[in-house]
Amino acid sequence: MKTYLYLIALAASPVFADGCPTRGVTQQVCAYSPSSLSFEGDAKSQATCLLRPVLMCGKISATPTSLPSNLEKRVGTPVNFKSTALQGYLAANKIAEADVGGNLDRPLSKTELGDPAQYFVIHDTSTPNYGSKPFPTDIDKPSWPDNSLKHWAKGEKSKAHVFINRLGESITAMPFERGWRAVKFELTYAQRYPQASETALRGRFLHVELVQPRRSALSSGAGDMQAPTPGFAEAQYQRLALVYIAASIRAGQWLIPAYHAGLDLGITGGHDDPQHFELDSWSRHIDSLVTEIAAAR
């Protein structure tokens, strides 16, 4: 199997208008095999590369991340409970399947060659941008306008499958059984691999957006480098855990999580999200929900 490992040496350049410093550093892109439509290594090693912390200006930590122990044990292994167990939990908590990616009894999306969804991509919306203004004090409350879920579901123009607001509520803009492309890695695939079709990766990645505003780190108000701290509400981590569990049940195994920025590294116009994502918090909520689902079963 032929794999590709790129070291992206970004040429020195002036400071950008958004305040990002000269990008004169070498960043390692995760090794990828176009023949298998997968990254290199087993599921755990792929996750440690694709979940490297995302730094300001879209830079990625040079070293693989250390997965929380329980997440490390799960990734790539079979899910040991059925959809009926989760359906019972959802019913008891008045959560619709339609809000966590769609019908749990339907298979996930597949590529045009039949490869099933394998990656669970975590994004942040990076909007609205408050420029030089401070973040509103109510971003984690119902009064903040961007916590309105209807704001995010835009049908065919939606940027992801599922959106999760800062109250821990979610909406499925595009069900997980439908292949969707949302990152530069997918959208520019044929440019890097001319032997492949433009839509070769459609269906391989599931996309989930966490609502997060941005602001400028500059007095001029340019750019959107700065995210709130903490980056996300605990309720968002809990709902993201639930959506991940729902998708993994449909896959039959725990999907490989990835950050948007890790996929787009080295591609012109790549993104810098999610900012300030706490992997330990997310893993803790996965553990807690798995325990609750098992108890309900």
Write the secondary structure of 147-189 as one string of H (helix), E (strand) and C (coil): HCHHHCCCHHHCCCCEEECCCCCEEECCCCCCCCCCCHHHHCH
Is pLDDT of 83 > 60? yes
When pLDDT is averaged across residues 188-206 and rounded to a whole number, the result is 96
pLDDT band (50, 70, 90) for residue 18: low
pLDDT band (50, 70, 90) for residue 154: confident
Q: Which is higher by pLDDT, 79 or 21? A: 79
Is pLDDT of 165 > 60? yes
**pLDDT of the residue at 220:** 76
When pLDDT is averaged across residues 96-112 and rounded to a whole number, the result is 97
Give the model confidence (pLDDT) of 21-72 as tens digits. 544 344 789 999 999 999 999 999 999 999 999 988 778 988 899 999 999 9
The number of C-alpha atoms within 13 Å of 204 and in the hemisphere containing its C-beta is: 20
| Cα–Cα dist 161/80, whole Å | 25
Two tokens at 279?
């992997």
**Range 174-201 burial, b when 16+ CB lie within 10 A, else e:** bbbbebbbbbbbbbbbeeeeeeeeeebb
Whole-number Cα distances in Å, 74 to 64, 244, 260 = 18, 12, 21
pTM: 0.92
- Ordered by where they begin, the domains of the chain are 42-296 (3.40.80.10)
Pairing of strands 26-28, 7-9: antiparallel
In contact, 37 and 263? CB cutoff 8 Å: no
- Supply φ then ψ for residue 200, to 5 degrees: -55, -35
When pLDDT is averaged across residues 167-183 and rounded to a whole number, the result is 97
Residue 184 CB contacts under 8 Å (≥ 6 apart), including other chains: 263, 264, 267, 268, 269, 270, 271
Share of the chain above pLDDT 90, in %: 77
Give the model confidence (pLDDT) of 270-292 as tens digits. 889 999 999 999 999 999 999 99
Residue 162 CB contacts under 8 Å (≥ 6 apart), including other chains: 100, 101, 170, 171, 172, 173, 176, 207, 208, 209, 243
Residue 214 CB contacts under 8 Å (≥ 6 apart), including other chains: 126, 127, 128, 129, 130, 224, 225, 226, 227, 275
| Cα–Cα dist 57/274, whole Å | 11
Residue 272 CB contacts under 8 Å (≥ 6 apart), including other chains: 54, 56, 57, 58, 126, 225, 261
Closest CA to 243 of 163, 155, 140: 163
Give the model confidence (pLDDT) of 114-152 as tens digits. 999 999 999 999 999 999 999 999 999 999 999 999 889
| Cα–Cα dist 133/177, whole Å | 40
| Cα–Cα dist 227/213, whole Å | 6
In contact, 222 and 17? CB cutoff 8 Å: yes
pLDDT band (50, 70, 90) for residue 19: low
**pLDDT of the residue at 56:** 83
Q: Which is higher by pLDDT, 21 or 206? A: 206
